[in-house]
């Protein structure tokens, strides 16, 4: 299942075939999508480091990696299966299986390092652009179930994303689109109200 998901993701990124030397990163117990209950138990551990998660092993110094940057909250390493020269990953030092389960403070710490790290990567690789990418969930191509952000250096006409050649369709400002916007606004409002209620109950 994991091999298939990675192959699908690769086919979207490299439509003419897999890059030479492409190999599948072995899955860790960092949880596959089929082991949801086990992952819920891990996530309830408030960011503890599972022994079978490949990123957690790297964080503990037990797994091989080329580290680019490290601080108290996160780590940046070179991706072992890069989509471009200098493709890197920013990883939180605490274990969270997805962006949904990662606390806002941890996400903020990771994202705050993006300008600093990406500038160094672009200079080192002679790139002038980069993609910032999060594969969140199995259907989106997430393979390692420990939150991480991809920094993918880009050069003009590198043809990395197949989707860049697809024709985009203009949004129709109709009832369906309005209904979608309203549903999202309502959900965001509910989340905001719940947060305010929790804050007031703590004070």
Distance CA 203, CA 193 (A): 16
Q: Please confirm, yes or no, whether 182 is among the known catalytic residues.
A: no
- Dihedrals phi, psi of 159, to nearest 5 degrees: 55, 40
Single out the residue of 200, 159, 135 nearest to residue 5, CA to CA: 135
C-alpha distances in Å from residue 77, one per residue of 13, 17, 111, 168, 181:
21, 26, 15, 33, 37
Question: From the candidates 87, 148, 169, 197, which is the catalytic residue?
Answer: 148
Distance CA 37, CA 57 (A): 22
Cα dihedral 137, 164, 88, 83 sign: positive
Residues marked as catalytic: 148
């Amino acid at each position: 299942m994991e091999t298939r998901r990675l192959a699908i993701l690769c086919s979207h990124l490299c439509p003419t075939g897999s890059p030479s030397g492409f190999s599948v990163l072995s899955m860790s117990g960092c949880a596959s999508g089929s082991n949801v209950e086990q992952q819920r138990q891990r996530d309830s551990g408030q960011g503890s480091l599972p022994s079978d998660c490949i990123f957690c092993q790297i964080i503990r110094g037990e797994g091989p990696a080329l580290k680019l940057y490290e601080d108290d909250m996160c780590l940046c390493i070179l991706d072992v299966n890069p989509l471009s020269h200098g493709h890197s990953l920013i990883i939180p030092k605490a274990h969270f299986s997805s962006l949904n389960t990662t606390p806002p403070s941890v996400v903020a710490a990771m994202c705050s390092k993006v300008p600093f790290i990406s500038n160094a990567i672009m200079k080192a690789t002679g790139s002038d652009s980069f993609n910032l990418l999060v594969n969140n969930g199995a259907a989106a191509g997430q393979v390692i179930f420990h939150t991480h952000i991809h920094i993918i250096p880009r050069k003009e006409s590198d043809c990395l994303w197949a989707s860049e050649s697809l024709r985009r369709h203009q949004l129709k400002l109709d009832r369906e689109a309005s209904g979608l916007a309203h549903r999202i606004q309502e959900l965001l409002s509910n989340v905001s109200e719940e947060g305010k209620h929790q804050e007031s109950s703590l004070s």
